[in-house]
Amino acid sequence: MPKLVVNVDHIATLRQARLGIEPDPVTAAHMAELAGAEGIIVHLREDRRHIQDRDVALLSQTVKTNLHLEMAATPEMQKIALNTAPHMVCLVPEKRQELTTEGGLDLRGRETELRDYLAPIHEREILSSLFIDAEPEQIKAAAAIQAPYVEIHTGHFADATSRTAQQQELTRLLEGIRQAQDLGLKVNLGHGLNYTNIYGFATVPGIHEFSIGHSIIARAALSGLDRAVRDMVSIIKTFAP
């Protein structure tokens, strides 16, 4: 059965609105784990718009399941990853002006660079994942970089504005998932997934994890974090193994 890994970035977004101390993403992570999350994700952005270095340091000591650190492939983030030793790092693209992640990494021509970038992380026995679009060239490049996981970007599927467009995006994702699995990559899915669109993946075999943040935190704002996580866990537990 796929795991639910909860991204607590937007607990920190609310905290940073007043540059205060609450709500604390560290507390939220613990609550999410108690509610059934099998991992916690934080995206330490270069601009620190939400998750702070303090959050990553504390979470690396307090998360009982698995901590996933999303980060740009920079020397600063490599040093932080090596110092905090999360269970997994996920390399994601970043643009300061973006509202949220807009797409996957472009791996083409960067195979050697990223394989070298990940080498010290792998030496510390930290797993790695590459956040990519479901494009054949990107999936082939991910296999060449030898990161054990890919996280296939589901944002275009989530943002589709018609059923036809959503079905086209879902078909593209399913083809990408199959190609990645055929190349021996473990497949996670994430970005923009919610309590409705996630059913598109209910019968897809071999998905390792769903990385979900915004929709869970949005529901939590109205019905509480425990309920929001339990609701998503109860959906995913009905999915194909």
Ligand X SMILES: NCC(=O)COP(=O)(O)O
Backbone angles phi, psi at 154, to 5 degrees: -105, 10
Cα→Cα distances 161→84, 149, 155, 173, Å: 40, 29, 12, 16
- 161 Cβ contact list (under 8 Å, min separation 6): none
Q: Which does 38 bind (CB under 5 to 8 A by kind): ligand DXP, ligand X, none?
A: none
Three-state SS at 189: strand
Does 7 interact with ligand X (rule: CB under 6 A)? yes
Point out the annotated binding site for 3-amino-2-oxopropyl phosphate: 7, 18, 192, 213-214
* Interface with ligand X (CB under 6 A), residue from 8, 29, 41, 147: 41
Q: Least distance from C-beta 151 to ligand X, angstroms?
A: 6
Q: Does the active-site annotation cover 43? A: yes
Minimum separation from the CB atom of position 192 to ligand X (A): 5
> Which residue among 70, 94, 135, 169 is the active-site one?
70
Residues 143-172 that bind ligand DXP (CB under 6 A): none
List, in order, residues 6 or more apart from 150 with CB less than 8 Å away.
129, 130, 131, 132, 139, 142, 180, 185, 186, 187, 188
Catalytic pick among 30, 33, 43, 156: 43
Q: Contact residues for ligand X (CB under 6 A)? A: 7, 41, 151, 190-193, 211-215
Active site residues: 43, 70, 191
